[in-house]
Amino acid sequence: MAQNGFSLRFWGVRGSHPISDRGSLKYGGNSSCVEVKAGDQRIIFDAGTGIIGLGKELVKKNQAPLILNLFLSHTHHDHLFGFYFFEPLFDTRNRVYIFGPRSEKRSLSKTLRAAMDRTLFPVGFDALRANKVIHSLDGNESIELRGSRQAPRVAKVVGVEDMQGEQPTVLTYKSAAHPNGVMLYRLCYKNKSVVYATDIEQKRGGYPEIIEFARGADVLIHDAQYLESEYTSRTHPRKCWGHSSVERAAEVAAKAGVKRLVLFHHEPTHDDHCIDQIVKQTRRRFPASVAAAEGMVISF
């Protein structure tokens, strides 16, 4: 990977819950987790079951101390399934910066602690012995990742223009288009950008503010859980479930003028053949489209 660019690796691509069957061998069955390398920084989006394999590889291939940046889109179970099994969190030599939206009732730190309450999970939050620095986000932040010796700098911003500094910077946008809200992230570095927009239910035509947030991105990773026929089904509609149809993801990508669309958060009932057909269909609307698959790497 060029020092001035990005490298993305997908560790988990499913939505709602992980799956394991012969029909999912091509695209994979783990829930959401994307690893990004930008310069000397390692950024992780979400902690679904995909983060378990990532953690094992990080420990195997790297000597501690590790410095990691984990960004949670929200704290629903399918995006936290792997958090409690992420091996770098158990090593006191490691430092992990954790970012995610605060809820109406409590900070992100309190939410994570509640998720590991002894009545729900046998290992308590305090067993995660790494140096954890947890930031509750409200949206419209700029988070500059400043290298191994300096903590990230978090500041409020207006607008979504890509930051042109020497260090990777993450911009945030909080949307109400998912139950209890969801945080979208735009990672900027050296005139390149990737947008992580999972668990977002786009309206027909797309939300203008989200289209602007994704404007001109090199890669848009977008929720595409349902076919439009599933979303609007008369017998079993998925409207108001908090997820987009494939068609609406493609529409947003086209309006935002992104260079590449990655369909993400695959419906658990969609097997490999179904997703293959979805890709073909999407490329008629937005040719530069691919479906996220476990192990897939995108460098640019």
6-299 to CATH, choices 3.40.190.10, 3.40.1280.10, 3.30.590.10, 3.60.15.10: 3.60.15.10
Residue 177's pLDDT is 87
The mean pLDDT value for 74-92 works out to 96
Tell me the torsion sign for CA atoms 171, 164, 187, 110. Answer: negative
Q: Where residue 1 falls among pLDDT bands split at 50, 70, 90?
A: very low
Question: How many residues in the chain?
Answer: 300
The mean pLDDT value for 258-263 works out to 98
- Tell if the pTM clears 0.85, that is, is over it: yes
Q: Are 50 and 10 in contact (CB under 8 A)?
A: yes
The yes-or-no verdict on residue 105 having pLDDT over 60 is yes
Q: Are 174 and 185 in contact (CB under 8 A)?
A: no
For the chain, the average pLDDT equals: 93
CA distance 11 to 295: 6
Residue 188's pLDDT is 95
Q: Where residue 64 falls among pLDDT bands split at 50, 70, 90?
A: confident
Residue 192's pLDDT is 93
Domain-wise residue ranges, the chain: 6-299
Residue 261's pLDDT is 98
Residue 2's pLDDT is 45
Token pair recorded at residue 111 = 């939410």
The yes-or-no verdict on residue 109 having pLDDT over 80 is yes
| Nearest Cα to Cα of residue 228 among 199, 264, 202, 259 | 202
The yes-or-no verdict on residue 164 having pLDDT over 90 is no
Is the model more confident about 127 or about 230?
127
| Nearest Cα to Cα of residue 267 among 50, 83, 8, 29 | 29
The mean pLDDT value for 269-298 works out to 97
Q: Containing H/E element for 10?
A: strand 6-12
Q: Where residue 239 falls among pLDDT bands split at 50, 70, 90?
A: confident
Per-residue pLDDT of 3-28, as tens digits, reads: 567 899 999 999 999 999 999 999 99
